[in-house]
Amino acid sequence: MKRCSHARFSRRQGYGANAARDALKVKSVSLTHSESLELVAKILGFHDWNVLSARIQSENKSVTAPVVLPPISTSTDLPTVPLRDIVLFPGMIVPLFMGREASKRAVERAMAGDKRILAITPRRAADDNPAPHGLYGVGVTACVIDLTTLPDGTIRLSVESLKRAAVVRLAEGQFLAAEITAIEESRGQHMEVFSLMHPVLEKFQACRNADLSSPPYAGLPIAREPSVLADAVAPFLLIDIAGRQDLLETSDVITRLEKILALMQTDLQARARR
């Protein structure tokens, strides 16, 4: 099986998050990994981690070789990594940190094969060791494109998320392994769905007061596929984990874009009432 291509990746944000966390630990201030990332984003002048992550993604699109893997219909024993406080969407390139032994073993197994993992989100962010029933039933397949082991034993890796996948069965052992099935999108080429692309861009620009010609938003106007646009906009939305997971699980592209429009409209109305 063809292995994923390696790519250069900006390491500054990862080092920053660890440095901030370590420095605060000395002062008896404990931060979760997600809180450390939010802090680094603020220090670097970004609104939040989602915006910084999208900026990283846009900068790496030009240098990352496309990932070419065989399509998934049903796959067994795919190493599975629970990702607390984040929902990945297809097309994202993000840094991740693995401290749990089971997650590190899952990554090690992936690196010994085709470098592919299943990234899935726990239902409860506070669950440090989620059981299979504590995980959402839909995640994304992702390819590891860079990996470094830090001095404290934590693994820092960057991944490119690939496709939506539904969990058929999760097996526990030295690490989680999943039998998955691909999620086929529907109505992705209907005339109606293409008519939603421009309203989504307009509403997004109004919500974020965004310059769509500049990073991290520059890739949005050139999206040619409605599904790609929906998944590129979703990480920027100011919604909770459950809301992001709902968008991930929405395979009907028209419905997904309509949900995104509704969420942005709610955001605008909330701002108007302030």
Q: How confident is the model at residue 117 (pLDDT cuts 50, 70, 90)?
A: very high
User: What's the one-letter identity of residue 108?
Assistant: E
Q: What is the spatial distance between Cα 110 and Cα 116, in angstroms, rounded to a whole number?
A: 6
Alpha helices in the chain (DSSP H): 12-26, 33-43, 49-61, 101-111, 191-195, 197-208, 226-233, 241-249, 253-273
Compare 273 and 246 and report the one with higher pLDDT.
246
pLDDT tens digits for 192-234? 999 999 999 999 999 989 899 999 999 999 999 999 999 999 9
Output the CA–CA distances (angstroms, integers) from residue 77 to 4, 27, 147, in the order listed.
18, 42, 21
Beta-carbon contacts of residue 39 (< 8 Å; ≥ 6 apart): 17, 20, 31
Residue 236: CB atoms within 10 Å: 22
What pLDDT score was predicted for residue 63?
Answer: 36
Residue 7: CB atoms within 10 Å: 18
Complete DSSP assignment for 17-33: HHHHHHHHHHTT----H
pLDDT tens digits for 231-266? 999 999 999 999 999 999 999 999 999 999 999 999
Q: How confident is the model at residue 71 (pLDDT cuts 50, 70, 90)?
A: low
Q: How confident is the model at residue 130 (pLDDT cuts 50, 70, 90)?
A: confident
Residue 2 confidence (pLDDT) above 50: no
> How much is the mean pLDDT over the chain?
83
What pLDDT score was predicted for residue 66?
Answer: 43
Q: What is the spatial distance between Cα 114 and Cα 116, in angstroms, rounded to a whole number?
A: 5
What pLDDT score was predicted for residue 234?
Answer: 97
Q: Which residues lie across from 42 on neighbouring strands?
A: none
Compare 16 and 104 and report the one with higher pLDDT.
104
Torsion of CA 224, 225, 228, 229, to 10 degrees: 60
pTM for the model stands at: 0.75
The count of C-alpha atoms lying within 13 angstroms of the C-alpha of 230, restricted to the half-sphere facing its C-beta, is 28
What pLDDT score was predicted for residue 96?
Answer: 95
Residue 42 confidence (pLDDT) above 70: no
In the chain, what are the domains?
Answer: 12-182 (2.30.130.40), 191-269 (1.20.58)
The count of C-alpha atoms lying within 13 angstroms of the C-alpha of 51, restricted to the half-sphere facing its C-beta, is 16
Q: How confident is the model at residue 125 (pLDDT cuts 50, 70, 90)?
A: confident
User: What's the one-letter identity of residue 23?
Assistant: A
